[in-house]
Chains A and B, each alone.
Chain A
Amino acid sequence: MHNQVDIETPEGIRFSLQLAGPSRRLLAWTIDTFMVLAILEMLSGLLGIFNIISADLTTALALIAGFILFFGYNMVLEWVWRGKTLGKWLMGIQVMDIEGLHLHFNQLVVRNLLRVIDILPALYLVGGISMIFSPASQRLGDRAANTIVVVTRKPPETDVSRILPDKFNSLRAYPHLEARLRQRLESEELRIIIQALLRRNKLDADKRVALYEELATHCRSLAPFPDEVTRTLSDEQFLRNVVDSIYNQKQHLA
């Protein structure tokens, strides 16, 4: 299952949107369902006033109100609130056009009408299966409406203080090589290094050594630090120094 979609602007710049997973979407739907039930309960109380005129009219109005609420709740809120419902807002997700453009009301109508198929046979099984096989994690309604559901809440920044070296960072003696490393190392590569160091104790010893060796070799190839520096450092220590060199620069900027 993919976790992001990349959109390329006509200027050739790529930006990415993080896709919401099935569990987060299911929770949002659960919240919205409870919300609909609560509104219905309130409405049926209010509609009781019509009992003075006719019990028949009250029942008719309650039936119609329930139906409108079932189909209209998502449509209206997603339109007015730009892709969000209460459940989606609480779960930090929202509906968006698959090409990053604004949502049309038509798209919201189509995605919400097709919910009647996605929800089958229970608990969004059809929609869930569709999401698993969709590159943009779309249920059937999303596919027909060209919409995606993305995460709006930013993930917390990784706390790297736990993996920074306690000793002197010998790489600092070579600022030009640190600068080269900062420019050549890609974000995804840095993320892998940080995760590998953070999960140190969860990794099997042999595999950990092999992984650190591979990562350190890659970093050395990007910025060839002199042998007298790297020889005295273990691969793990070298990687910690790399993270320190990059983040230390960032802290300095901040």
Chain B
Amino acid sequence: MIVDLEKFIKQEQPYWDELEGLIALRTKDAAHESDLAESRRFYYLYRRATSGLARIQPFAAEISLTAKLDSLVSRAYPYVYGGRKEKTRFRPLHWFCVGFPCAFRRQFTAFIFISVTITLGSILGAVAVQYDDESKSTIMPFAHLMGNPADRVALEEATDLEDQMGRHNTFAATLMVNNIRVSIFNLALGITYGLGTLLITFYNGVILGGVMLDYIRAGESVFLAAWLLPHGSVEIPAILFAGQAGLIIGQCLLGWRSALSVRERFRACAQDITMLIYGVAILLVWAGIIESFLSQYHGPNLYPWKIAFGTIQLAVLFAFLLFAGRNQEQEDAHA
């Protein structure tokens, strides 16, 4: 209990001012490193301010003083109890080469789930196109996929390479932007307990399965592989990684086989979600460039090269995801 409020304020004011100064120092300079003595002083001042707040709170009329101390304690609190690595540096290469593959491996179960979902969708799409001709009009997303694949292949191959050169930059940018936007949406739909993500992925699978079977049935498997593999070997996995991140959000909400609270689960997974979507964005930028500058060129003499390129790219991607950043992982485990 404070007997003499005036004396109390006079006595404590210099300590509050000193704490205010130390907070300002840290706020202005995020890279500020305090030594042991300064940290101890900061903690002492923080404890003194919290104690002052506890003593002043019962004084009804001291609304502004309570608010001032409330504000002081709330600003000092995160520096005492931490939570943020102040020196989070902009390291895009490290995030992609280490953060992204590590997150992928940590959340591998979600990747299995999303892969199974797209596979089931593909099977349904293929079965639907095989046994129900009318389903093609429902499944195919673009008009140019509605016709006979053999006609399209003949047309594409007859077009001179010079004529195939078009507005590649705009096309690549449009592909990147649209694919990343769709991936973000797929991720965000995880907030529907993962159901929205699963549905979107399943639907993508249906389209993919339908298109693939349509071309295989028409005897255009080589064209299909040469058309899809160069960019699809990156684009399709990237869409799956976005779905993987969406399922992580769903799992955080569901809490299946977890003793943590929703808040703790989200806190534990936020970094993996960020790393996955970052990796997705980089991969989709690459896929956009490949789709615009390579996939759209058709000709029988190009097919073996395009298929080889796509296959190697797919192998490299999964080798990267399985092995990259393992040293860092081990270091973190030791730490």
A residues apposed to B, CB below 8 Å: 7, 9-17, 54, 56-57, 59-61, 63-64, 67, 71, 82, 97-107, 109-110, 113-114, 116-117, 140, 143-146, 154, 157-158, 182-183, 185-187, 189-191, 246-247, 249-250, 252-253
Q: Is the CB of A7 within 8 A of B191?
A: no
Beta-carbon contact of B64 and A157 below 8 Å: yes
Q: Does B180 make an interface contact (CB < 8 A)?
A: yes
CA distance A208 to B316 in the complex (A): 78
Q: In whole angstroms, what is the CA distance A82 to B58 when docked? A: 32
Q: Is the CB of A182 within 8 A of B184?
A: no
In this complex, what residue of A is CB-closest to B79?
Answer: A102
Which of A12, A13, A146 has the largest count of B CB atoms less than 10 A from its CB? A13
Interface residue ranges of B77-133 to A (CB < 8 Å) = 77-79, 81-84, 86, 88
Q: Which residues of B contact A189 (CB under 8 A)?
A: 60
B19 in the interface (beta carbon within 8 A):
no
Option from A15, A64, A101 in Cβ contact (under 8 Å) with B84? A101
Q: 1/0 contact trace for B63-86 toward A, CB 8 Å?
A: 110110011011001110111101
Cβ of A63 to closest chain B Cβ, rounded Å = 4
A106 adjacent to B270 (CB under 8 Å): yes
- The reply to whether B270 and A60 form a contact with Cβ atoms under 8 Å apart is no
A145 to nearest B CB, angstroms? 7
Selecting from B31-39, B143-151, B170-178, B207-215, the interface stretch reads: B170-178
Which residue in chain B gives the minimum CB-CB distance to A150?
A: B74
Select B6's contact among A183, A185, A253, beta carbons within 8 Å: A253
Interface contact A100-B77, CB-CB below 8 Å = yes
Please indicate the chain A residues that have their CB under 8 angstroms from the CB of B218 in the complex.
none
Residue-wise, chain B 219-256 has the 8 Å CB interface mask toward A (1 for contact) of: 00000000000000000000000000000010010000
Closest chain B residue to A17 by CB distance?
Answer: B74
How many of B's residues come within 8 Å of A, CB to CB? 60
Q: Would B177 and A13 count as touching, CB distance under 8 A?
A: no
Contact B169 A59 (CB under 8 A): yes
**Chain A positions within 8 Å of B6 at CB level:** 252-253
8 residue pairs A–B, Cβ–Cβ below 8 Å = A57-B169, A59-B169, A59-B170, A104-B271, A113-B277, A144-B191, A157-B64, A252-B6
What are the 9 closest A-B residue pairs judged by CB atoms, nearest first?
A: A102-B84, A101-B83, A60-B173, A60-B169, A106-B270, A190-B60, A246-B61, A185-B60, A63-B173
Within 8 A of A (CB), among B161-200: 167-170, 172-174, 176-177, 180-181, 184-185, 187-189, 191
Contact A154 B191 (CB under 8 A): no
> Are A117 and B78 neighbours in the complex by a CB distance under 8 Å?
no
Contact in complex: B78, A13 (CB < 8 Å): no
Question: Given A101-B83, A109-B274, A144-B266, A186 and B60 touching (CB < 8 A)?
Answer: yes
Q: Bound state CA distance, A7 and B77, in angstroms?
A: 10
B216 within 8 A of A: no
B5 beta carbon closer than 8 Å to chain A: yes
- Give the contacting residue for A145; candidates B79, B81, B266; CB below 8 A: B266
Question: Which of chain A's residues has its CB closest to B71's CB?
Answer: A154
B61 touches A15 (CB 8 A): no
Whether A109 pairs with B50 at a CB distance below 8 angstroms is: no
**Given A106-B273, A144-B249, A146-B266, CB of A56 within 8 Å of CB of B170:** yes
Is the Cβ of B83 less than 8 Å from the Cβ of A253? no
Q: Is B58 in contact with A186, judged by CB distance below 8 angstroms?
A: yes
Among B57, B169, B277, the most chain A Cβ lie within 10 Å of the Cβ of B169
Q: Complex: how many Å from CA A116 to CA B189? A: 9
Given known A-B contacts A13-B53, A101-B84, A146 and B263 have beta carbons under 8 A apart: yes
- B154 lies within 8 A of chain A by Cβ: no
User: Which partner residue on chain A sits nearest B173 by CB separation?
Assistant: A60
**Interface residue? B158 (CB, 8 A):** no
Closest Cβ of chain A: how far from B184's Cβ, in Å?
Answer: 6
CA distance A110 to B53 in the complex (A): 34
* A117 and B191 contact, CB distance less than 8 A: yes
CA distance A109 to B77 in the complex (A): 23
Within 8 A of A (CB), among B309-325: none
At the interface, yes or no: B24 with Cβ under 8 Å from chain A?
no
Query: CA of A245 to CA of B158 in the docked complex: distance in angstroms?
Result: 96
The smallest beta-carbon distance between A61 and chain B, in angstroms, is: 7
Please measure, in the bound complex, the distance between the C-alpha atom of A190 and the C-alpha atom of B60, giving whole angstroms: 6
Closest to A157 in B: B64
Q: How far is the CA of A67 from the CA of B83 in the complex (A)?
A: 31
Q: Contact at A253–B5, with CB atoms within 8 Å?
A: yes
Q: Within the complex, what minimum Cβ distance (angstroms) separates B216 from chain A?
A: 34
With both chains docked as a complex, state the minimum distance between the C-beta of B232 and any C-beta of chain A, in angstroms. 22
Does B59 interact with chain A (Cβ within 8 Å)? yes
B64 touches A61 (CB 8 A): no
Docked Cα-Cα span, A110 to B180, in Å, equals: 15
